[in-house]
């Protein structure tokens, strides 16, 4: 955990009523779910095209997905867009199989949902915390991608209707409006809520933009902070460490 003396002075009198959680890579280990899905996709690709180089295919697709996961213009359907990414990756290997890109895209999205679950011990932690605090999930992304994830991890069993998907809103994180909507859901003022997430540019910057009481950066890989970027109040390796942060804020 990291905090400066100045941050500690500012935060010591905060009364927290609500916790806003990011979903991907915060409550759910997306990396493991993706890897399991890619293993299945690789088997499908090899069974269809014998001499396909699946490591290169997966690597190329992942890079394209990270760079442009959605149509920047917001016109092309997300699954059509991602099928196109698979086709581009197949084209690099000169694979002329018209049905394969759509087959791979469908398999990837369907199979990874089978592994898309809250991380171990998250259920128990949330059950305990939400006895005291209001909880809201705020996740960016296209609703066609995020809604099935919400269903797969049974998030509604824990958060009820307190789930906000950026793709269904006028503005996504880090815009203040999406956080202020969460405040209304949680019946709290911005300074009475904290944001917990893994992305500095959306979760932490968004919490700062919205004037939340504190931000908590989930940083499992011990990435280095950019002094010119958003600075979280706290850093943790896993969301499971959150209770210790909350205990600190009480004292």
How do residues 23-81 score in pLDDT, each as one tens digit?
A: 999 999 999 999 999 999 999 999 999 889 999 999 999 999 999 999 999 899 999 99
Contact 156, 146 (CB under 8 A): no
**Euclidean distance between CA atoms 42 and 65, whole angstroms:** 16
- State the pairing for strand pair 163-165/18-21: unpaired
Considering the entire predicted model, what is its pTM? 0.91
| 177-181 long-range contacts, CB within 8 A, separation 24+ | 178/138, 178/206, 179/20, 179/138, 179/206, 179/207, 179/209, 179/210, 179/212, 180/210
């Amino acid at each position: 955990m990291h905090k400066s003396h100045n941050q500690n002075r500012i935060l010591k009198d905060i009364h927290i009523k609500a916790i806003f959680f990011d979903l991907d890579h915060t409550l759910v280990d997306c990396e493991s779910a993706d890897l399991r899905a890619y293993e299945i996709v690789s088997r499908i690709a090899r069974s269809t095209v014998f001499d396909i180089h699946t490591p290169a295919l997966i690597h190329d697709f992942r890079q394209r997905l990270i760079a442009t996961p959605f149509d920047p213009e917001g016109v092309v359907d997300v699954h059509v867009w991602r099928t196109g990414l698979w086709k581009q990756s197949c084209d690099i290997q000169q694979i002329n199989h018209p049905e394969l890109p759509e087959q791979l895209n469908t398999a990837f999205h369907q199979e990874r949902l089978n592994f898309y679950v809250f991380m171990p011990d998250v259920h128990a932690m949330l059950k305990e915390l939400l006895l005291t605090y209001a909880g809201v999930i705020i996740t960016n992304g296209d609703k066609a991608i995020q809604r099935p994830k919400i269903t797969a991890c049974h998030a509604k069993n824990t958060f009820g209707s307190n789930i906000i998907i950026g793709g269904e809103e006028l503005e996504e994180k880090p815009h203040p409006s999406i956080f202020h909507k969460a405040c209304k859901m949680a019946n709290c003022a911005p300074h009475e809520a904290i944001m917990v997430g893994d992305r500095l540019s959306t979760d932490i910057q968004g919490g700062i933009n919205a004037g939340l009481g504190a931000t908590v950066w989930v940083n499992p890989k011990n990435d280095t902070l950019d002094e010119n970027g958003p600075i979280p109040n706290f850093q943790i390796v896993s969301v499971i460490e959150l209770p210790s942060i909350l205990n600190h804020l009480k004292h």
